[in-house]
A = this chain, B = another copy of it.
Amino acid sequence: MTAAGLPMRVPAPGLPARVRIHEVGARDGLQNEKSVVPTEVKAEFVRRLAAAGLTTIEATSFVHPKWVPQLADAEQLFPRLDGLGDVALPVLVPNERGLDRALALGARRIAVFGSATETFAARNLNRTVDESLAMFEPVVSRAKAAGVHVRGYLSMCFGDPWEGAVPVAQVVRVAKALEDLGCDELSLGDTIGVATPGHVTALLTALNEAGVPTGTLGVHFHDTYGQALSNTLAALQHGVTTVDASAGGLGGCPYAKSATGNLATEDLVWMLDGLGVDTGVDLGALTATSVWMAEQLGRPSPSRTVRALSHKE
């Protein structure tokens, strides 16, 4: 339905010229889908994402298969992703055992998954926040010693389903601790999608004041309340240049099964294309990839852009 030339490119002052999209659909997305996707379909998904221009594609997780059966094929999947050239393929590792598995396969980027709140740390990691940081310490130091890039996910940065609003100072403390461990970048997660733009700006400002530079910060918004893109705009206005998103909006929020999860990469690219912010992504190819993946999963994409662009009158 969309005529050529849309969205019209009209830059806004004060935004970055380029944004790096950290594509999480293959890991964070598929991990939260009910169906277990065949390994070759996952590999083809990553290849199509790369062909659409995404340059950072989180590929899988080396968590114990008991916890995430959807990604139990990490050892089989990762080697199939050779030949993607300069595309970065970070993998999630929960602990040293996961790191061993990732390093054995030649992974060059890993991510650890922390929590800003005690309740989520207890439920998701079976540890206190400080115990989880202690668990990450050898993971990060060994990865760094091996020359591997480390991302630190920080969940529940804005709200927590059990604790409610999360104080900014509490998030800053854990973020600083992850940086002190040696993380190269942090991803600030709004895991339940409750953030609003002023909260985003306040957290980024507080992190800067605590000595964490914006250049090491990524944002990871969920669209549970439809807020992901306006929060992203606030982050861009603050200077953030790394934005997490999930192709087709894959992955529900595990704590609200009917709710929408990750920001859809297509909705993000529509906005950035309109703003004239370079991502390197071809929106048409990306949408076609998400339509294909939705067919594999047997359900429509929740991305509004995918639905609009793939709609046939």
Residues of A at under 8 Å CB distance from B?
Answer: 1-8, 10-12, 15, 158-166, 192-199, 201-202, 223-227, 229-230, 232-234, 255-260, 264, 267, 270-271, 273-276, 303-305, 307-308, 311, 313
With A and B bound together, what is the CA distance between A201 and B274 in angstroms?
A: 12
The 10 closest A-B pairs by CB, nearest first: A196-B274, A12-B198, A226-B267, A3-B164, A8-B165, A226-B304, A10-B198, A10-B199, A5-B164, A230-B230
A2→B194 contact, CB < 8 A: yes
Instruction: Identify which of B4, B195, B232 contacts A230 (C-beta below 8 A).
Output: B232
CA distance A45 to B260 in the complex (A): 27
Tell me how far the C-beta of A188 lies from the nearest C-beta in chain B, rounded to whole angstroms. 14
| A/B interface sample: 20 pairs, CB < 8 A | A3-B162, A5-B164, A6-B164, A7-B165, A7-B195, A7-B225, A8-B159, A194-B274, A197-B271, A198-B276, A199-B274, A226-B267, A226-B305, A227-B270, A227-B271, A229-B230, A230-B230, A256-B313, A257-B313, A260-B307
Considering residues A2, A225, A270, which has the most beta carbons from chain B within 10 angstroms of its beta carbon? A225
Identity of the chain B residue whose Cβ is nearest the Cβ of A194 in the assembled complex: B6
Instruction: Give the residues in chain B near A305, CB-CB below 8 Å.
Output: 225-226
Helix, strand, loop or mixed for chain A's interface? loop
Chain B: minimal CB distance from A275 (Å): 5
Q: Considering the chains assembled together, what is the distance between the CA atoms of A164 and B1 in angstroms?
A: 10
Complex contact A267–B227 (CB within 8 A): yes
Q: How far is the CB of A253 from chain B (nearest CB, A)?
A: 8
Which of B4, B202, B256, B308 makes the CB contact (< 8 A) with A259? B308
Nearest CB in chain B: distance from A3 CB, A: 4
Please pick, from B194, B258, B259, the residue contacting A7 in the complex, using a CB distance under 8 A.
Answer: B194
Please measure, in the bound complex, the distance between the C-alpha atom of A260 and the C-alpha atom of B256, giving whole angstroms.
21
Which B residues are in CB contact (< 8 Å) with A307? 258-260
Quick one: given A161-B1, A270-B227, are A12 and B197 in contact (CB under 8 Å)? yes
The answer on a CB contact under 8 Å between A3 and B163 is yes
What is the minimal beta-carbon distance from A11 to any residue of chain B, in angstroms?
5
Partner of A304, one of B7, B12, B161, B259: B259
Closest beta carbon of chain B to A134's beta carbon, Å: 28
- Min C-beta distance of A121 to chain B, whole Å: 16
Partner of A11 from the list B7, B198, B276 (CB cut-off 8 Å) is B198
Chain B min CB distance to A24 (Å)? 17
Which B residues are in CB contact (< 8 Å) with A5?
164-165
Of A11, A162, A273, most buried by chain B (CB within 10 Å of CB) is: A11
A297 to chain B minimum Cβ distance, whole angstroms, is 18
Q: Is the CB of A226 within 8 A of B270?
A: yes
The reply to whether A260 and B304 form a contact with Cβ atoms under 8 Å apart is yes
Given the known interface contacts A197-B271, A230-B232, A256-B1, the answer about A224 and B308 at a Cβ–Cβ threshold of 8 Å is yes
